[in-house]
Structure 1
């Protein structure tokens, strides 16, 4: 099989899947016949999908998990290992942004962003690869939901500099992981998917903040489905093709 069809019946783990980009990716995968484990602190929106999907859709398994806690991540992958063996696709989507400057920002916000945007992505990737190796699965795909903030040479917004720093680290870690897997002659592909501003609940909250600045106030953003479509495109490429970086931005 070619295209997205070759993943039909396989299983994907989508982190931060209850809203925004993660939810849109989960729905897109399910409609393509891929089974989805969707983890979130509040998986209620995923539970509501049961009975609303087409007959040939994949099966959704909502899981309550706080990925800022390593114990929750390890428990999640232990359950996956015991119940399903492994997941074929890992979508590292969970992330957050806390407005604040480097000169006077709050440590709590920095810790939250680092734990979720960087450490959770890295730990999930490690545990995913452990299960793939244990089960002898050669082909898989990891997509890290990055940001244009992870590539900018100058600050995107004065209140988002620590957030941008976490995304720059995702850019570096994605490249490093690709190098490590290539050294092992692994067929598991790794992609950094970097959207510009996306109209998500998180961005809507940031727009309300008087300190959010020009970045959030100018123009229209992408929709979450646009990012989901990009993720499905990446997954649909032939096995001999690796989309190492895909950047999408609003037309305006």
Structure 2
């Protein structure tokens, strides 16, 4: 990880859960991390906690459903920090929206955040890397085991479809980067059940979220952050393309 000291990472969904854990881990490894979310106050609290670490965390507000917000963040990063070296597309969400009864608004929101925002951020990150002749950059897509199988759980079927899209985008990004003879790497992180706010928000119920996460020992946000650091720290000629990992007791 020494070669990443002082370089710039952009992390979406950085205020809580996996995004917060990744931001912490990268700052501890000496990177300058731009943390994006709608709630910048929470990111600022994390930044205050990390003031004694090797790197630093810079909060920036961004609503990922608004392309103008995303482009504004990339503009600020370019102006203030030179540009992005590592893009962590972490932000993602699910609604309780089955295919037969779910609302179009919920489906659209999942597409906007899980698929479109991820694609916009990846495009803009690669653009900034190539403008600066950065040939060792890294794009991360935080996906899910649900991008590799569909479980018989109707509330999560549309979410699973968005994560299958992310699988296609991972392969597509790698192919397009190879076509232009770039050494920018692409990695998808695909965890199973992680103990975060995700389940509570999906069902709009703290009780339901706690119940789901108490069925067995879930992954922790730091487990996902550790997987990212492993892939980022691999030698430049090694692309860790897809990491699938789940709690030991999880069935599928």
Give a deviation string over 1:155-175, Cα, whole Å, max 9, x none: 352111100000000000110
Q: Which consecutive residues of structure 1, in runs of 5 or more, have no partner in the other structure?
A: none
2:80, 2:168 → 1: CA distance?
33
What is the alpha-carbon root mean square deviation over aligned residues? 1.9
Q: What are the residue-to-residue correspondences of 1:133-144 with 2, within 5 Å?
A: 133-144=130-141
Q: Which consecutive residues of structure 2, in runs of 5 or more, have no partner in the other structure?
A: none
Equivalent residue in structure 1 for 2:172, among 166, 172, 176: 176
Please state if 1:219 is matched with 2:233.
Answer: no
Contact (CA 8 Å) 2:200, 2:207: kept in 1 or not?
Answer: no
1:244, 1:226 → 2: CA distance?
17
1:132, 1:11 → 2: CA distance?
11
The two structures have a TM-score, normalised by structure 2, of 0.92
1:156, 1:86 → 2: CA distance?
43
1:156, 1:227 → 2: CA distance?
25
Contact (CA 8 Å) 1:38, 1:63: kept in 2 or not?
Answer: yes
Aligned residues: 247
2:45, 2:152 → 1: CA distance?
36
Contact (CA 8 Å) 2:199, 2:212: kept in 1 or not?
Answer: no
Pick 1 or 2: higher relative contact order, CA cutoff 8 A, min separation 6: 1
When structure 1 is superposed on structure 2, of 198-207 and 93-102 the one drifting more is: 198-207
Q: Which residue of 2 aligns with 1:162?
A: 158
- Deviation, 1:211, is 8.8
Contact (CA 8 Å) 1:146, 1:170: kept in 2 or not?
Answer: yes
SS where residue 144 of structure 1 aligns? strand
Structure 1 segments, 4+ long, off by >6 Å, are 209-212, 214-217
The two structures have a TM-score, normalised by structure 1, of 0.92
Q: Which residue of 1 aligns with 2:103?
A: 106
